[in-house]
Structure 1
Amino acid sequence: MAEELGFDPHDPGRRAHYGEFYGLADLPDAPIFMVHGNCQAESLRVLLHAAGEGRWHGVRVPPVHELLAEDLPHLTRLLNRCSFVATQPVASGYRGLPLGSDEILALTPADSRAVKYPVMRWTALMPTLAIVRAQGVTDPPIAPYHDLRVLVAAAQGKSSVHLEPVSDEAVRASRDESLHQLRIRQQAHGTVDAASLFEAAGPDAAHVINHPSNQVLMGVAREILERLGEPGEVQDPGRVLLGGIRAPIYASTLHALGYSDDDLEAGPRDHWVIGGEKVSEDDVAAEHLGWYAHFPQVVAAGMKRHERLIGAMKLLD
């Protein structure tokens, strides 16, 4: 099961990391809150917890894609104590479990409050990067993202791919599509506004498409507090919250969006940074192209899901 999940749910270190959630550490005698969602949730919890200045306590919980049926009693126990919950929109019955936003909020006390924040994806700075899901298939090797240029090459049966920056028009098409989709999600679920924060953050908006910068995450945390009507100063934690992996950002992409090389704090890069190590973009592309040959269903799923953007960016020969 551990191999299928990508982690060992019974690993003592992991359970200690989520000690309060699993009842291995006592909860404080203070108002409790939790943040429900994907990898972005824990970063928001860190910011909200610090902004509370001891007025409330944020419990670290596993991301929603790691929660299992055996975790439900722990989740219910925690929710029964929550003064407020911040949640991304999660569909009811997610992964066959009652982990949807509405399902978990139904377990909170009658006087508990809730705020929704959107699933945040921003492709403006890395226009060909995408997320693809296929039943029963885990992430590709090295970098757990998909490059539409490589995906298209796989769909066309190519055995190699040479990565070139896309046109300025393609960059802006990706930016516009990302903004459009984020605003649709926000309006559909009544979430706080992250789209404006990404626009305002410009070249420092994200490290990879689903890892917003501290600047954006802090802005979302402030909007959550505003929705709750709670005072609190959201401050930079002094570390990069979601910086463990960073995608290539081309100088041509910055220029197409009206920025200069100097506008990006670390400057443009044509390589990945994974765990602090530089990884060649060509090496990742070659590994992914070979991987796609074993998982053609991923190629089919990706081409279908991103058909509109692939067309708008004119990636097909």
Structure 2
Amino acid sequence: MQPSAGYGVVVGNCQAESVRLVIDSPEMPTIRTRAVHEMTADDARDLHELLRGASFLVSQPIRDDYHDLPLGTAQLRASLPSGAPTVVVPVIRFAGLHPFQVAIRMHDLEYEPPLVGYHDVRLLAEAAGSPVRARLPREKIRAIADESVGELARREQHTDIRVSDLFASPRFAQMRTINHPGNAVFLPVGERILRALGRRPEPTDPGRPILSSVRAPREDWVIEAWGSDAAPHHDWLVNGDPLPAAQVREAHLAWYAEHPAFVEAAARRLVPLLAQWA
């Protein structure tokens, strides 16, 4: 089925579909695409064909020849009709609400542990033989948050949308995990995208939580550090079901024992963060 005229295309990682939901409307329809890291050569060909009829593109920054496919933002832009705008949006990560959590990709090593695809720096340090404290003081949490905001600000220099200011007063409604924003982030981001496209800055509220299949623990000491009234929960929520933190801990420590090369490489990469936890 051919899409209707006047459609837009949104491209990126797992955040892209949530971005698409908040800018999609009957007046400005958008087309769903696969996450860019899942695309095949056939998907890339189909995407370029789709772009030839699109009225705009919203994309995260993607390097040329990503995964050896013509999926770079500049390469995608080249397939748009003349005059069709592109809005580049940053990939959003914020660690201030989950300062114990990291998401690491190792292209030459298996990197995803079982149950939840996130790493706890405390468990990684334990597996590496250099245990760290169980919690951080307020100033350390805020230092990690400031580093996240600084990194977002650096990314914004190469995009068309600002997001770092949204975390001036962090709230748990903003982030499910370190890299899964919630509606409280996507709706203002959608407003900014629409404004950049010259449209009415009225994002579409999807009427449900988006990008919410995995929710990390909310630890009481982090809640206290931000003066939040959020309720703590020490377990994970996966597809709405509780997943005990103790079960995740046991599974991850077992996985680390089976993947010592990953533990060593991750500990090297995370030296600055681990120094905050020492």
SS at match of 1:46: helix
Normalising by the residue count of structure 2, what TM-score does the alignment of the two structures yield? 0.93
1:37–1:219 CA distance, 2 compared to 1 (3 A)? same
After superposition, the C-alpha distances for 1:91-148 in whole angstroms (9 at most, x for unaligned) are 1121122211111111111111011111101111110100111124252100111111
1:99-118 → structure 2 map (5 Å cutoff): 99-118=71-90
On the 8 A contact 2:9/2:32 being kept in 1, the answer is yes
The partner residue of 1:153 within 126, 130, 139 is 126
CA distance in 2, matches of 1:191, 1:165: 36
Give percent identity, aligned residues only: 35
Normalising by the residue count of structure 1, what TM-score does the alignment of the two structures yield? 0.82
Q: Structure 1 residue 293 and structure 2 residue 257: aligned?
A: yes
Q: Structure 1 residue 249 and structure 2 residue 206: aligned?
A: no
Report the alpha carbon displacement of residue 200 of structure 1 after superposing the two structures with TM: 4.5
Q: 2:70 — aligned with what?
A: 98
CA distance in 1, matches of 2:18, 2:55: 19
Q: 1:276 — aligned with what?
A: 240
Tell me the C-alpha RMSD between the 2 structures.
1.8
CA distance in 2, matches of 1:168, 1:31: 49
The partner residue of 1:175 within 141, 145, 170 is 145
The partner residue of 1:133 within 105, 118, 141 is 105
1:201–1:237 CA distance, 2 compared to 1 (3 A)? farther
On the 8 A contact 2:21/2:204 being kept in 1, the answer is no
SS at match of 2:92: coil
Structure 1's unaligned 5+ residue stretches are 1-24
1:301–1:102 CA distance, 2 compared to 1 (3 A)? farther
Structure 2's unaligned 5+ residue stretches are none
CA distance in 2, matches of 1:296, 1:80: 47
CA distance in 1, matches of 2:201, 2:144: 35
List structure 1 runs of 4+ shifted beyond 4 angstroms. none
After superposition, the C-alpha distances for 1:263-294 in whole angstroms (9 at most, x for unaligned) are x2xx1111111111111212212211111122
SS at match of 2:91: coil
